[in-house]
Amino acid sequence: MSLLVVGAGGFLGRAVARAALERGEQVLGWTREPARLPRGVAAARVDLLRDDAPEVPDGVRAIILLSGHAVPGADHGERLARESLFMCARVVERARRARGLRRLVYASSSHVYAPSSEPHVEDEPPAPANAYGAGKLACERLCVDAGGEVVLARLFGSCGPGLPRGLMLTDALESAVRDLRATKDGAARVRMRGPDAWRDLLALEDAAEALVACASHPAGLSGAVHVASCLPRRSSQLVATMMSALPGRIVVDWPAGEGPAQLAVARRLRVEAGWKPRHDLDSALRAMASAAWNLRDEGC
């Protein structure tokens, strides 16, 4: 099978391409930066915001759509949501015309749901509470309207070296590394923006393998699928594990209160596709910290 990864040069895209190659897939990658792709990927330079997207080559049986702005938060406003929808629409248009395409996998997000202290289930109606979630939901609907087998892979979070800036883990890590380098006593204090909360997080490789499983599953797989560990962890536990790989004494201050949980019931991938997490989350967190320290000022 040939697999097209759209957004193959990003944090998750590169991992998806590697996971697909390891399964023996022929992988094509659309990206603005072909030099970032793993060896073995047939790369095409494509900027979906500026250039006309090429046609999907004959022989491609599945598309994993990862393009779009991928960092939620206060800075993700309507403009970024519109740009992500525009990029999605270009790919969907090409998918409609593709000959032999069997399945479209859209990398969505848990942010399509309303905040809840209870785990989200896969048949739960979406009710986004911010522009990022609303944009993801709009892209989901665009994909579904295209017809055919469409998998809405709702990710609850992944981590590893190269995680983009602007997220809880990378913000905390950058603050700690900056303080450690600026002081001589080997101590740092990190002040978190939001309160502690329950989270569901995967190692990057597990999230990538889940998306490839969605694309390559031989039976008809469509609709909403949760990409999650189902193993809740406190944000404070995740941050403490990550900080343990840095040299020095690090104090992390959390605001009072309880933040919104991001928890999942993830049944379909396990039952229908036989996927389950197999990579160690703690190792991924520590690898993030080691990479950030070694890269010095180049980010996480």
Asked if residue 72 belongs to a domain, the reply is yes
Q: Do 154 and 191 lie in a common domain?
A: no
Burial class (CB in 10 A: 0-12, 13-18, 19+), 167: middle
Asked if residue 284 belongs to a domain, the reply is no
Q: Distance between CA 100 and CA 98 in Å, rounded?
A: 6
Asked if residue 254 belongs to a domain, the reply is yes
Q: Which of 60, 134, 46, 132 is nearest to 95 (CA)?
A: 60
pLDDT tens, residue by residue, 249-281: 999 999 999 999 999 999 999 999 999 999 999
pLDDT interval class at 74 (50, 70, 90): low
Q: Do 142 and 244 lie in a common domain?
A: no
Q: Do 191 and 269 lie in a common domain?
A: no
Q: Which of 279, 278, 205, 282 is nearest to 243 (CA)?
A: 282
Q: Do 55 and 92 lie in a common domain?
A: yes
Tell me what pLDDT residue 221 has. 84
pLDDT tens, residue by residue, 201-256: 999 999 999 999 999 987 778 999 999 999 999 999 999 999 999 998 999 999 99
Q: Do 121 and 179 lie in a common domain?
A: no
SS3 2: strand
pLDDT tens, residue by residue, 100-130: 999 999 999 999 999 999 999 999 999 999 9
DSSP class of 262: B
Q: Do 91 and 106 lie in a common domain?
A: yes
Q: Do 111 and 177 lie in a common domain?
A: no
Q: Distance between CA 198 and CA 196 in Å, rounded?
A: 7
Strand residue runs (E) in 41-97 = 42-45, 60-65
pTM, to two decimals: 0.94
Q: Do 23 and 155 lie in a common domain?
A: yes
Asked if residue 283 belongs to a domain, the reply is no
Range of the domain at 42: 2-161+201-232+261-278
Q: Do 79 and 228 lie in a common domain?
A: yes
Asked if residue 154 belongs to a domain, the reply is yes
Give percent of the chain with pLDDT exceeding 70.
97
DSSP per-residue letters across 258-289 = -PPPB-B---HHHHHH-----S-HHHHHHHHH
Number of domains in the chain: 2
Q: Do 45 and 150 lie in a common domain?
A: yes
Q: Do 27 and 175 lie in a common domain?
A: no
Q: Give counts: helices (H), strands (E), the chain.
A: 8, 13
Q: Do 67 and 191 lie in a common domain?
A: no
The CATH number of residue 106's host domain is 3.40.50.720
